[in-house]
Structure 1
Amino acid sequence: MIEGNSRSITSNQVGINDDLDKVVTKHLTSEFKKPYAPYSLAGFEEIKTKVNAFLLDNPDGKLILDSCCGVGESTYHLAINNPDMLVIGIDKSEHRIDKSEHHFQQKVNNFILIRGDLNDLWRLIAEAHWPIAHHYILYPNPWPKGKHLPRRWHGAPVFKYIPLLSEKLTVRSNWDIYINEFAQALTHVNVTAIVTEYASDNAMTPFERKYWASGQKSTELNVEF
Structure 2
Amino acid sequence: MQQQSRSITSNQSGPHEDVPSAVARYWHSDFQKPYAAHSEAAFAEVDRLLQNSSKPLILDSCCGVGESTAYLAARYPEALVVGVDKSAHRLGKHVAHQRHGETGEYLLVRADLNDFWRLAHAAEWPVQKHFVLYPNPWPKKKHLGRRWHGAPVFPALVKLGGELEMRSNWQTYLDEFALALACLQIPAQVEKLPTNLEPITPFERKYQACGQALWRLQSELTVPNLLAADELAAVRATLLT
Structure-1-length-normalised TM-score = 0.91
User: Distance in 2 between the 1:94 and 1:4 partners?
Assistant: 22
Say whether 1:179 aligns with 2:174: yes
SS in 2 for 1:39: helix
User: Distance in 2 between the 1:88 and 1:72 partners?
Assistant: 10
Q: Which runs of 5+ in 2 are unaligned?
A: 223-241
User: Distance in 2 between the 1:109 and 1:81 partners?
Assistant: 8
Equivalent residue number for residue 31 of structure 2: 32
Equivalent residue number for residue 143 of structure 1: 138
Alignment of 1:11-160 (within 5 A): 11-53=10-52, 55=53, 58=54, 61-101=55-95, 108=103, 110-160=105-155
Structure 1 range deviating more: 61-70 or 162-171: 162-171
Deviations along 1:192-215, one digit per CA (max 9) or x if unpaired, are 101111235310100111011111
SS in 1 for 2:95: helix
Say whether 1:218 aligns with 2:218: no
User: Distance in 2 between the 1:182 and 1:113 partners?
Assistant: 26
User: Distance in 2 between the 1:204 and 1:166 partners?
Assistant: 23
The question of whether the paired residues in 2 share the 8 Å contact of 1:3 and 1:214 is answered with: no
Q: RMSD across aligned C-alpha pairs, in angstroms?
A: 2.1
The question of whether the paired residues in 2 share the 8 Å contact of 1:4 and 1:215 is answered with: no
SS in 2 for 1:135: strand
Deviation at 1:41, TM superposition (A): 0.6
Equivalent residue number for residue 230 of structure 2: none
Q: Which runs of 4+ in 1 moved over 2 A?
A: 106-109
- Residue identity matched to 1:129: E
User: Distance in 2 between the 1:166 and 1:185 partners?
Assistant: 15
- Residue identity matched to 1:149: L
Deviations along 1:155-206, one digit per CA (max 9) or x if unpaired, are 0011011222132101111000000000000012110101111235310100
- Residue identity matched to 1:6: S
Provide the identity percentage: 48
Q: 1:202 aligns with which of 176, 198, 221?
A: 198
Structure-2-length-normalised TM-score = 0.85
User: Distance in 1 between the 2:201 and 2:38 partners?
Assistant: 25
User: Distance in 2 between the 1:128 and 1:10 partners?
Assistant: 39
The question of whether the paired residues in 2 share the 8 Å contact of 1:63 and 1:132 is answered with: yes
Deviation at 1:109, TM superposition (A): 5.4
